[in-house]
Each structure stands twice: as C-alpha cells, then as structure tokens.
C-alpha cells in the first residue's frame, strides 16, 4: 500500500492550488474527471471570472454568514496573489465592471491550462479518473479507497471536492458524504447562486434576452430586498447577477411557504407621474405610430411583442387607438412588471450555500476540529459569496492555507 504525506481529493480550483502550494513529491491529488479544473470552464459565462479585484473590506462584506471567517485565508493568499501567479505564467488578466477579473483572452481555458502547467512543474503528483469510494481514519492515517480496488494511505487529507452545484462537472456531493462519515455535521441543503423558475410562462419566449432593471423582491407582500442590475430570461425563469445574488433570500422565504414575487422597474429613470406625462404627450405627438414600434424606446424589440401579448394589446394598434385604461396598464407594468417565483433552481446553482458547518472548522488553518489532520476547503464549507469572482478566490485561498499548514507540519515531522 502506497503511503503519502498528503492526499488531496478533488482537482478543482481549490485542490489544484493546494497541490501547487504543497509542492511535495510524496503527496498526490486525486481527480475523478479526465481533466483538472473542469468547473472553471463554465465560470463567467465561459470567460472565467477568476477573482474580484475589490478591497479586503469588500470581501468581508461579500460573503453570506460573515466574510470574517475567511480573514486568515485571504490574508495568506488574496486576489493580487492569484493574478500575479497567472500573469507570471503568461496568462494576462484584465479588470472589468464591478472589479471582476478575467483573462485577456476571454477564454476560461486559458486559466485552466495555466494552472495545470504550473502544477506540472511542481513536485506534487496528480491522477485523473480516480473516483474515491471510501475514506476512513485508522490510528494516525487516512485510508483512501478509489476506483475498483486501489487503496492508499496518508497522514494528511484535504477534502476539496466542491459541493453539488453543476453535477455534470463532477461536483456530485460526495465530499459531503466523506465529511459526514468522518464525523462532521452538514447544514440544511440550500442552493447558493442559482437561477429561479417562474410561474409566468410567457417569459420563456424571451429566453436569452438580457436587460438592466431595478427590482424589488416581496414575500407575502412585504418588501424583503431591493437591487438593480442585469437579468437574463431563461427557458423557465430568470437568471443574471442580480438574481443569483438574491436567490438565497428568495429560497429562504419559499421554504416558509410564502408567496414570493419579483417586481421589475423597466423605466427606472422615470417616476410614475413622469412616465404617465410622457406617454400622454408622445401618444398625441406620434398618434399614427404603432404601439409595438413606440415601446422600442423602453424595451428591447423582442420583449415589446411579448410584453404586449401579456397585456392583451394588439401590437399593431396605433397610439391614438390606445384608451386610457390601456395606457395606465402600460405605465403600471413598465414601472412594475410583477413576476411570481415558482422555485429556486438548486440543481443549476453555480455554488452551494450549504456544507460542513463552519463551527467545526478552524478558520486559521481550515483543519477540522473533529478529526486531526483533516482539512476541508472551498465550496465544501458552508456559506458562499455573491457573484463576481469572490467564490473562486475563497477556493484558492482556503486551499493554499490548508496546504501551507500541512507543508509546515511535514517539515517539522522530518526535522
């Protein structure tokens, strides 16, 4: 039976940074897929929003359940460090809106290839197509069984399998099972940054359309959140940064069996009164223009047609044929288009908000408080950040902190 100093289970962004930092020829990374960092390929719409260039204080405010838990991890390895690591290895980066950082190639594969190149130069080995079946602790060693009959052991273990978001990338939740079998407690399963499904089926015809809106979320008619940003209509609901960042609030109220609605302000530059005045003035001035054509100044062309169908107004109706009731209805829906949430699409979440309870993990090392020499990093830890590169940075930082801790202990063990 091969004995390793450390075994890293999961070759995503957290695991690969752990392996790079560890740089130990007597350690190995096991990845179930046929490639490393598979999930990175779908981040940022395939462009890889690899980190966020925001300040330390911004990070502290950008994580649910308190970003202070990651203070030590971010202090050890922060956004400037991952950017520097990539750029020193010929993967140039750029900063876009809201401090989001992307590779200049706009291709997630550039980040993946660079990280693999760096790992290939390190001493840490890795094996692909290795599905871990069982982990148990015997005396001072972890016994790891993978594939059909392979068994190895190690003194240190890093669990970096990710949660269960986007199972097609290999994140099927086995890390939860490993942690639980080793004595850890899991939080209630909850999606993190996820799209939402709507009861309003007419919006499905807008699939792929992106618009900027001001929105308000209401639960049982009570306002629970206001925000503004981009939304994307999908085949069964809506997504986009502003929806992803609100999905956990929405899910919380849905679990209480509350009625959740999303009000979209499609004309935030006008008050109700201002919009009403403008509509009356324009209807007189452009009396022979069709309502469909007129609405293009407020809505994308594709949306104008479906919006009018929803309001049961013929798109060919000219403005001087629109009666007062219809004009008021147009005004009210441009200012407050109400959509009713059916459910949060947890299986389409980009990250999960559930995981191993933080109180069972030492934030200064990310070592388990339950099992000595077990480290739990990345998305396996309960809670997540908002969209914009924060979650990938958490994965890198916690992976590096765990590896640094192990590296120091290995050095002490051998001295």
pLDDT of amino acid 341: 96
Query: Domain limits of the chain?
Result: 2-190+351-414, 194-348
pLDDT of amino acid 219: 96
What's the CATH fold of domain 2-190+351-414?
FAD/NAD(P)-binding domain (3.50.50)
pLDDT of amino acid 255: 85
Residues 173-219 pLDDT 10s: 789 999 999 999 998 776 678 899 999 999 999 999 999 999 999 99
pLDDT of amino acid 43: 87
State the SS3 of the chain: CEEEEEEEECCCHHHHHHHHHHCCCCEEEECCCCCCCCHHHHHHHHCCCCEECCCHHHHHCCECCCHHHHHHHHHHCCHHHHHHHHHCCCCCEEECHHHEEEECCCCHHHHHHHHHHHHHHCCCEEECCCCEEEEEEECCEEEEEECCCEEEEEEEEEECCCCCCCHHHCCCCHHHHHHHHCCCCECCCCECCCCEEECCHHHHHHCCCEEEEEEEEEECCEEEEEEEEEEEECCCEEECHHHHCCHHHHHHHHCCCCCEEEEEECCCCCCHHHHHHHHHHHHHHCCCCEHHHHHHHCCCHHHHHHHHHHCCCCCCCEHHHCCHHHHHHHHHHHHCEEEEEEEECHHHCCCECCCECHHHEECCCCEECCCCCEEECHHHECCCECCCCHHHHHHHHHHHHHHHHHHHHHHHHHC
pLDDT of amino acid 155: 97
Residues of the chain falling short of pLDDT 50: 170
pLDDT of amino acid 164: 65
- pTM as predicted: 0.84
């Amino acid at each position: 039976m091969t004995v390793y100093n450390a075994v890293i289970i999961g070759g995503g962004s957290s695991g690969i940074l752990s392996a790079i930092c560890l740089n130990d020829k007597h350690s190995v990374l096991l990845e179930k897929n046929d490639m490393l960092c598979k999930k990175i390929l779908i981040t940022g719409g395939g462009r890889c929003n690899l980190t966020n260039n925001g300040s330390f204080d911004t990070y502290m405010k950008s994580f649910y359940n308190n970003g202070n838990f990651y203070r030590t991890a971010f202090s050890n390895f922060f956004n400037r460090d991952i950017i520097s690591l990539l750029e020193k290895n010929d993967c140039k980066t750029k900063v876009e809106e809201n401090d989001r950082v992307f590779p200049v190639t706009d291709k997630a594969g550039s980040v993946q290839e660079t990280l693999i190149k760096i790992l290939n130069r390190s001493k840490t080995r890795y094996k692909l197509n290795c599905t871990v079946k069982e982990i148990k602790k015997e005396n001072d060693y972890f016994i790891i069984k993978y594939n059909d009959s392979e068994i190895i052991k190690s003194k240190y273990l890093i669990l970096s399998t990710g949660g269960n978001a986007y199972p097609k990338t290999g994140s099927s939740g086995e890390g939860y099972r490993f942690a639980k079998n080793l004595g850890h407690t899991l939080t209630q399963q909850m999606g993190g940054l996820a799209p939402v499904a709507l009861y309003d089926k007419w919006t499905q015809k807008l699939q792929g359309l992106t618009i900027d809106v001001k929105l308000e979320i209401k639960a049982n008619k009570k306002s629970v959140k206001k925000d503004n940003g981009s939304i994307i209509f999908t085949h069964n609901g809506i997504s986009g940064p502003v929806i992803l960042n609100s999905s956990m609030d929405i899910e919380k109220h849905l679990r209480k069996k509350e009625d959740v609605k999303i009000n979209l302000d499609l004309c935030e530059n006008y008050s109700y009164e201002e919009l009403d005045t403008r509509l009356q003035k324009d209807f007189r001035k452009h009396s022979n223009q069709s309502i469909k054509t007129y609405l293009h100044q407020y809505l994308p062309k594709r949306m104008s047609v479906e919006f009018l169908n929803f309001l049961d107004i013929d798109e060919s109706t000219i403005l001087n044929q629109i009666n007062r009731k219809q004009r008021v209805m147009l005004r009210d829906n441009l200012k407050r288009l109400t959509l009713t949430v059916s459910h949060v699409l947890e299986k389409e979440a980009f990250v999960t908000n559930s995981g191993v309870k933080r109180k069972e993990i030492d934030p200064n090392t990310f070592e388990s408080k339950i099992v000595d020499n077990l480290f739990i990093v990345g998305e396996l830890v309960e809670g997540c950040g908002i969209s914009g590169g924060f979650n990938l940075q958490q994965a890198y930082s916690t992976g590096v902190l765990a590896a640094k801790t192990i590296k120091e202990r290995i050095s002490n063990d051998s001295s």
